[in-house]
Amino acid sequence: MEIDYIEDFFEVVKAKSYNKAAIRRNISTPGIKKRITQIEDYFGYTIFLATHQGVTLTDDGQQLYKSLQAIKQQIDELKHTETSILKIGIISNFPLDKLSEMNKQHERLRLFPANSTATLITQLRQGELDLVIGEQVELQAGICFEYWFDEPFELVFSKNHPLNHSENIDKHTLNQQHFYLLAPPGDTFDFKKHHIDPEHMDLSYVKDRESIMNFIATSDSVAICPQSYIEKVNSKMYTHVALPNASRTIGIYANNQTYIDNFFDIINNGQTHAY
């Protein structure tokens, strides 16, 4: 029995469908069914039953699944040794200085950017990624998370905005502004965490940050952006000021803590990482 067949077996269990498992494993449905049949022939019993609700494990299949879990974990760990490549989903507005450092590890890290942490975590759960680097969100069952760093938020507006003449931008001033923010589930400002009540704010949601910057460049509206994103925009067009006590937490997500440990070993050149 080939090692790949164990991967096929676990994918069918997770997908509860030969068709979905075949797509995720990039083989044909008859091909994955044939592999499952070979597993059944090898062990001498039926491991799956096909019903209208999908594919389910038999009692023997349940026992085999439990027995192979340790083997599957060992295979996953072996696939992530020092010579392996980690597939990392990363939010597109990640700090440029840290991104530059990670790009120096290009032989070990392969980066896949997206606008939303939630989208990346979905890909992680589906096995398309080894790690996700994103904002701290509500933790899902079976997902490991480790804190990395905090990044400040800044208020951004055009050079022609009346706020350029304000000596102090307080909560009352903020409540009088019209805001453009990234539409959910994008990584936007956490109002409740930072004691700003969205019910008293004039808000509009936009699908991407580039559009937000275009809108505020030609209006009296403002935006709230991570500090790292401001580094990407034309400073001659915008004013940006720090928001007191406003920051986002960036962390690492994985299905297995081993992947997180491997990531920090890579970027720290084998040094023990700090929590």
Query: Mean per-residue pLDDT for 222-245?
Result: 80
199: in domain: yes
Does 113 share its domain with 32? no
Determine the pLDDT at residue 234.
67
Domain residue limits at 61: 3-78
What does the alpha-carbon distance between residue 12 and residue 234 come to, in Å, rounded to a whole number? 49
274: in domain: no
164: in domain: yes
pLDDT tops 80 at residue 270: no
273: in domain: no
235: in domain: yes
Determine the pLDDT at residue 130.
93
Does 135 share its domain with 259? yes
Q: Is 39 exposed, middle or buried (0-12, 13-18, 19+ CB in 10 A)?
A: buried
pLDDT tops 50 at residue 273: no
Sign (positive or negative) of CA dihedral 159, 165, 169, 171:
negative
Does 257 share its domain with 145? yes
- Which tens digit of pLDDT belongs to each residue from 96-113? 778 887 877 667 888 998
What does the alpha-carbon distance between residue 90 and residue 120 come to, in Å, rounded to a whole number? 7
- Which tens digit of pLDDT belongs to each residue from 153-167? 888 999 999 999 887
pLDDT tops 80 at residue 269: no
What does the alpha-carbon distance between residue 189 and residue 194 come to, in Å, rounded to a whole number? 9
Query: Mean per-residue pLDDT for 60-81?
Result: 78
Determine the pLDDT at residue 108.
81
Count structural domains, the chain.
3
Does 144 share its domain with 180? no
What is the chain's mean pLDDT, rounded?
82
Query: Mean per-residue pLDDT for 259-270?
Result: 82
pLDDT tops 90 at residue 222: yes
Does 20 share its domain with 60? yes
Place of tokens 């992947």: 259
> Of 118, 60, 54, whose CA–CA distance to 89 is shortest?
118
What does the alpha-carbon distance between residue 93 and residue 76 come to, in Å, rounded to a whole number? 30
Query: Mean per-residue pLDDT for 41-64?
Result: 90
Question: For a pLDDT cut of 90, what percent of the chain falls above it?
Answer: 28
Does 127 share its domain with 258? yes
DSSP character string of 66-123: HHHHHHHHHHHHHTTSTTS-EEEEEETT--HHHHHHHHTTTTTEEEEEES-HHHHHHH
Q: How far is CA 86 from CA 89, 128, 143, 244, 270, in A?
A: 10, 11, 17, 36, 15
Query: Mean per-residue pLDDT for 72-92?
Result: 73
Q: Where residue 122 sits, what CATH number does that domain have?
A: 3.40.190.10
More confident residue, 74 or 174: 174
Does 143 share its domain with 261? yes
12: in domain: yes
Q: List the end-to-end C-alpha distance of the chain, in Å, as a whole number.
A: 42
* Least confident segment among 74-83, 109-118, 144-153: 74-83
Q: Which residues contact 230 (CB under 8 A, 6 or more apart)?
A: 154, 156, 238, 240
What does the alpha-carbon distance between residue 27 and residue 6 come to, in Å, rounded to a whole number? 14
Does 166 share its domain with 194? yes
Determine the pLDDT at residue 68.
86
Which two three-digit tokens encode residue 253? 């997500």
Q: Which of 56, 78, 100 is the last residue of a domain?
A: 78
Which two three-digit tokens encode residue 151? 């990044």
Does 256 share its domain with 122? yes
* Residue-wise burial string across 97-124, b where 16 or more C-beta atoms lie within 10 A, e elsewhere: ebeeebeeeeebbebeebbbbbbbbbeb
248 by DSSP, 3-state: which?
A: strand
Q: Is 63 exposed, middle or buried (0-12, 13-18, 19+ CB in 10 A)?
A: middle
User: Is pTM, for the whole model, over 0.75?
Assistant: no
pLDDT tops 50 at residue 267: yes
236: in domain: yes
pLDDT tops 70 at residue 78: no
